[in-house]
Chain A
Amino acid sequence: MVEVEVRNVNKTFGNFKASDNVSFEIERGKLIGLLGPSGSGKTTILRMIAGLETPDSGEIYIGGRKVNDLPPGERGIGFLFQSYALFKHMTVFENIAFGLTVQKKSKEEIKSRVEELAELIGLKNFTRRYPLQLSGGQRQRVAFARALAPNPELLLLDEPFAAIDAKVRQELRGWLKKTIHQLGITAIFVTHDQDEAVEVADEIIITNRGRVEQAGVPIEIYQSPKTPFVAKFIGESVQVPDYTIFKGFEGYEQHEGILRPEFLEIGATIEEMPQPMPVTTERGIVRGTYFRGSTIQIDIEVKGQLLRGFRGLEQPPLHEGDLAFVFIHKIYGFDGDKTQVIENAAKFRESVII
């Protein structure tokens, strides 16, 4: 069942197009990540769904109801602001209770709901504090509880982890995912961190320059990026101006593409290679090696082009200046504003076009 539908939405600020014909659907109960570079219009989309901004054209549906003309308070949403926007002069209790007091709920009802939520966010003993007396992570959770208090159908979170340090962020991510699934509500969260999106979201919507580039489950986006932007934006990549110079990729009309490190096999000797044949294996010179924790990153020059790949820690080490062998499994080739996956001809003898 579709919980949120955004249909052909446009929004300009002055003459800047912040949303360009944005359309997508979100199913009930899903946790969606809205991912894109800074200024790509993520916040704008979220604010339009919340009713904090009005689209110039297009429709927005929440729970099957067109909400374009509904004020934010009547859309059944909870909104978590990028900066939390906690009420500075109210205690944690009053902050969480705000939505309920506006709805004129009874005192007992408010008290039990706030206590329940304080328990949920693990701040049961902090309800008398003011936001300024809390840490960033605690504030984030208070803002979360405040948004949840009136039982919204849909939760909108704008960069919920942006202002929190790395370690706490890691904890909160897991906590958020668990809590939202536990509550069974639909949620959209904005982020410009792809690791965060991949880790937390059930599905990802990728935005760029006000447009939706691609939407889907993380693995699908990763394995078959539809546009050059998505291919470049997701995962690590090296762009090559002409991939037809490499063995196994000759004869294509388009030349531009990108390579992910995991598309490369790097061997110190020819025997290490999966297909130890000189016809399919490139030779290159190691230009740099970097210890990356669980792997070693190798920057290697092949036919004047600097490529990047990984090697395991247990494999024989390579050093700068060493000669090494490279096998390229596949390449994401660009075709206008589309991307196609091109496998090495040596593997399949034909390319797979998606």
Chain B
Amino acid sequence: MRESIWLRRFLIFLAATFLFVMLIMPLILVVKEALAKGFEVYFKALTDEFALKALYLTVEATILAIALNTIFGLASAWLLTKFDFRGKTFLGSLIDLPFAISPVIAGLFFIMLFGRMSPLYPILQEYDVAIVFAIPGIILATVFVTFPFITRELVPVMESQGRSEEEAAATFGASGWTIFRRVTLPNIKWALGYGIILCSARAMGEFGAVSVVSGHIRGKTNTLPLHIEILYNEYNFTAAFAVASVLVMLAIFVLILRNVVEYYSKDIEREEVVEPSADLKVGVANG
């Protein structure tokens, strides 16, 4: 099938225009609005006490979500790919559940668990532990919405690698930790990196779930996206866009990082393709 040059041009034009209008223009607009009142106002908005606190909380929640999800992702992927047991498919679907649930509903779950009508509420009150409308709630909600990311990236890669390298290591009496560190980890490091990138992008940008559990206490339970909302609703547009521009930069950084990781992992694949014999791959399914 050979399309005419005009059809080609038209299609490229169509795609480019669509992406320009839908993606590029909003980005440009953020920068433009952020700098609308000059650099001084811009920097003032960024160094505002509440903005910094929100940034701090966002970073805190993101790092915690990454840490927890990395541990969970590695453990669950190892469990799902290295062993056979009943209920494996069910476990896999359960882990994917947060993808199918609206973040607002995810937030609702935690309100139901720790909020006022929860049976746990009196106990929490007694020990003076605040979860909902406090930082722990924000972290819980963030972990929930990013829960499947790393597992999802690791499982297909580990599945295709098979178990034979780990078994080979086991025949030498290597410990679990040695097998993981020296044999498995080098094989999955790019997938893990990719999963962490996706996880952090989502964690720092999460709005719906965090909005439900935060209680919008300025300077205390606001993350950057929530801070933007407050500024925007106060008609403080310049400040809102100034803070937004920070997140735009982070998003672009994430995209670049993502492509770098993809490039390197492809690089390895390419090396494999060039090699004439594909027996390393073929043998993977050998029982």
Contacts and interface: CB of A to CB of B under 8 A. Distances in A.
Interface of A: 43, 50-52, 71-74, 77-79, 81-90, 98-99, 102-103, 131-133, 135-136, 139, 146-147, 150, 158, 163
A28 B57 CA distance: 68
Contacts of B284: 83
B271 A84 contact: no
B187 A131 contact: no
A135 B276 CA distance: 8
A52 B165 CA distance: 12
Interface string B56-78: 00000000000000000000000
A158 B282 CA distance: 15
Given A83-B280, A86-B280, A132-B271, A98 B164 contact: no
A77 B283 CA distance: 21
B262 interface: no
A158 B165 CA distance: 14
Interface in B223-268: none
Contacts of B168: 79, 81, 85-87, 146
Contacts of B277: 135-136, 163
A190 to B, nearest CB: 11
Contacts of B283: 81-85, 163
A77 to B, nearest CB: 7
B87 interface: no
Contact of A163 (B173, B178, B282): B282
Given A87-B183, A102-B178, A136-B279, A82 B171 contact: no
A81 B280 contact: no
A132 B267 CA distance: 13
A43 B147 CA distance: 39
A87 B165 contact: yes
Given A43-B286, A88-B165, A132-B275, A150 B172 contact: yes
Contact of A88 (B169, B280, B282): B280
A83 B164 contact: yes
Nearest to A137: B277
B170 interface: yes
Contacts of B279: 83-84, 136, 139, 163
B163 to A, nearest CB: 9
Q: Is the interface of B mostly helix, strand, loop or mixed?
A: helix
Nearest to B179: A102
Nearest to A130: B271
A162 to B, nearest CB: 8
Nearest to A98: B172
A5 to B, nearest CB: 20
Contacts of A103: 172-173
Contacts of A98: 169, 172, 174, 182
A71 B173 contact: yes
Contact of B187 (A51, A89, A135, A150): A89
A79 B286 contact: no
Contacts of B276: 135
A33 B283 CA distance: 21
Given A43-B286, A43-B287, A131 B171 contact: no
A105 to B, nearest CB: 12
A89 B173 contact: no
A52 B286 contact: no
Nearest to A73: B173
A81 B162 CA distance: 13
20 contacts: A43-B287, A71-B173, A78-B171, A81-B286, A82-B286, A83-B283, A85-B164, A85-B165, A85-B168, A86-B168, A87-B168, A88-B186, A88-B187, A88-B280, A102-B169, A102-B175, A131-B280, A133-B275, A135-B277, A146-B168
B49 interface: no
Contacts of A52: 167, 170-171
A83 B182 CA distance: 19
Given A84-B283, A102-B174, 19 more contacts: A73-B170, A73-B172, A74-B173, A81-B167, A81-B283, A84-B280, A85-B164, A85-B168, A88-B165, A90-B182, A98-B172, A99-B172, A102-B169, A102-B173, A102-B178, A131-B280, A132-B280, A136-B277, A163-B283
A102 B172 contact: yes
A313 to B, nearest CB: 38
Nearest to B185: A89
A83 B171 contact: no
B48 interface: no
B85 to A, nearest CB: 14
A92 B272 CA distance: 16
Contacts of A43: 286-287
A235 B33 CA distance: 85
Contacts of B187: 88-89
Contacts of A150: 172
A131 B282 CA distance: 15
Interface string B123-159: 0000000000000000000000000000000000000
A77 B275 contact: no
Contacts of A74: 173
B171 to A, nearest CB: 4
Contacts of A147: 171
Contacts of A84: 279-280, 283
B174 A73 contact: yes
Nearest to B186: A89
Contacts of B282: 83, 163
A81 B186 contact: no
Residue from the set A72, A74, A83, A87 with the largest chain B CB neighbour count within 10 Å:
A83
Given A89-B187, A163-B277, A77 B286 contact: no
